[in-house]
Amino acid sequence: QVQVVESGGGSVQAGGSLRLSCAASGRTFSSNAMGWFRQAPGKERDFVAAISWNGVYTRSYYADSVNGRFTISRDNVKNTVYLQMNSLKPEDMAVYYCALSLTMKNSASADASEYDYWGQGTQVTVAS
């Protein structure tokens, strides 16, 4: 059974940093795309970042709003994806969701419908 579990959310002051983790279990997902999305109250779920691996190189994708501040990475041995969030802003406050695609290999997408499994979400609060 495939499971995706996020951890690492919390509360920080604006300008601070947090690192989110996402562990996938059930089988090996080293070549599967994984992504992060977020949803603020009253808003739609938005793409944050995604990562793919072709066996040699990783490729990262970012929303414009986080590019340069957030970094996505993956540890294929641990089946885990990380989201390092620096220079956090109040507008980054949201529930962050990790997602796993069973079909996207060697590529990734900002389209939430391309992902098959989702975590329960972890809250990120940024105080101004």
pLDDT in tens, 88-120: 999 999 999 999 999 988 889 999 999 999 999
Residues in Cβ contact with 41 at an 8 Å cutoff, skipping those fewer than 6 apart: none
- Residue 15 has a pLDDT of 98
- Residue 31 has a pLDDT of 84
DSSP state of 67: B
For residue 125, pLDDT beyond 80: yes
Burial of residue 71 (number of CB atoms within 10 Å: 0-12, 13-18, 19+): middle
Go through 29-47 and write b for each residue having 16 or more CB atoms within 10 A of its CB, e for each that does not: beebbbbbbbeeeeeebbb
Q: How far is CA 81 from the centre of its chain?
A: 7
pLDDT in tens, 4-59: 999 999 999 999 999 999 999 987 788 889 999 999 999 999 999 999 988 888 99
